Amino acid sequence: MAFTFIHAADIHLDSPLHGLQRYDGAPVDAIRQSTREALKRLVDLALSRRVNFVVIAGDLYDGDWRDYNTGLFFVAQTQRLQDAGIPLYLIAGNHDAQNVMTKSLTLPANTTLLSAHRPQSVLLDDLGVAIHGQSFSTRAVFEDLSVGYPSGVRGLFNIGVLHTSATGSEGHEPYAPCTLDGLRSRQYQYWALGHVHQRMELCQDPWVTFSGNIQGRHIRETGPKGCWLVTVDDHQRATLEFEPLDVLRWERVTIPVEDIAHEEDLWPAVAQQLSRLEAAAGGLPLAVRVVLTGKTALHDRLHARRDFVVNQIRSVGLQAGGGRIWIEKVSLHTQPPRRSTATPLLDDGPWDELTSVFSELRANPDEFQSISKDIIELCQRLPDVNLATLGFDAANLDQRSGLLDEVEALLWNRLSPGEDDA
């Protein structure tokens, strides 16, 4: 029998968002509501496409509820599915594991949270479907849960629901690791995976796929976010269609500035790239990190006037996006062009040595860490450097590089006053 279902994961309902900077035009309140709005869109999709059931592969919640409003919101959305006769099957992941959650509410009858004690199977006889899954009992599960899943039921379309790092993914804890061979051995037709927030297909025969999260929450979760709409035909062949659900999109744009010699030419280049992103987003508001790269005569000027540059790009974003673009951060990864002459205060030898010191600090995190306190003290004495704007974190590679760029530019400006930037 043909049927359709939704595979979603990693809702992280009411996830707290960190590092948001308030300024005129920054949609902070909308961002804080984005996970709720994305879940509403998931339910809207289920209703409009009249799917037969919905599967959520873990991390519905971001952790224990701060109050019952989180649970009440989820009940309201599941009740919408209940009223339409659409069942919901879900497992708990590492963020909402059994021992993490201290609050709970009775859910509508259409909702089934699969057991955390052992793999649980649910048979949907009218559709010829078997759903197998196991919730996390604790936050950190390091064993391969899939080895305990039962073999597929012959003649049925078997769906395995698993919260897992699979064979490993950068930026995600190695929870419930598994192998493709191990998953194939279960003889399921579809594996609905969660935990990895990037949408990806690990295998198509059978389908083994992460749907990714439904709403990006920070700059490491860029691009469209949503769910898989899975259509299964009478011959148990599945077709996947990605459905975006996000209500605010995170993007990163890199703008090469090698050929830009004058500051007044920089802002139109930024505006052009931001307008391109805004057009591609189809009207969604955007949170954008702007990264300027390349060797440019503007290097010292950009770094020495960071506050102006950041707010000028924010202004450009407000104009280019019609109020729908929020500049999450501006990263200056530029480099100065090679100097043609020595400065009045430094001959080539000392300048080359200073350049070598900065190269070593960029390449050697331990070396940087040993002098980071001195650098912070130096920055606090220099009115040109704004550590709050920089968001300094010595352990963060991008931020460490940004701080070194800024200090290097300031040293050059102060040691070579009046020198031409060419």
**What does the alpha-carbon distance between residue 218 and residue 19 come to, in Å, rounded to a whole number?**
9
Q: DSSP H helical segments within 109-222, as ranges?
A: 180-185
Confidence of residue 265 (pLDDT cuts 50, 70, 90): very high
Q: What is the predicted pLDDT for the residue at 352?
A: 60
**Residue 275: which residues within 8 A CB-CB, separation 6 or more?**
320, 321
User: Would you state the CATH architecture of domain 3-244?
Assistant: 4-Layer Sandwich (3.60)
Share of the chain above pLDDT 90, in %: 66
Under 8 Å between Cβ of 384 and 410: yes
Under 8 Å between Cβ of 255 and 269: yes
Q: Long-range pairs for 406-411 at CB < 8 Å and ≥24 separation?
A: 406/303, 406/306, 406/332, 406/379, 407/375, 407/378, 407/379, 408/303, 408/358, 409/299, 409/300, 409/302, 409/303, 409/304, 409/336, 410/303, 410/304, 410/382, 410/384, 410/385, 411/354
Domain residue extents for the chain: 3-244, 249-415
In the predicted model, what is the mean pLDDT of residues 390-402?
A: 57
Instruction: Select from 313, 294, 337 the least CA-distant residue to 389.
Output: 313
Which stretch of DSSP H or E encloses residue 8?
strand 3-8
Provide the mean pLDDT of the chain. 87
Q: What is the predicted pLDDT for the residue at 417?
A: 46
**What does the alpha-carbon distance between residue 386 and residue 404 come to, in Å, rounded to a whole number?**
13
Confidence of residue 343 (pLDDT cuts 50, 70, 90): very low
**What's the pLDDT tens digit per position in 159-202?**
999 999 998 766 678 999 999 999 999 999 999 999 999 999 99
**What does the alpha-carbon distance between residue 200 and residue 215 come to, in Å, rounded to a whole number?**
15
* Residue 281 in tokens: 């987003």
**What's the pLDDT tens digit per position in 349-371?**
565 666 667 777 777 777 777 77
Which carries the bigger pLDDT value, residue 408 or residue 70?
70
In the predicted model, what is the mean pLDDT of residues 209-237?
A: 96
Query: pTM for this one?
Result: 0.81
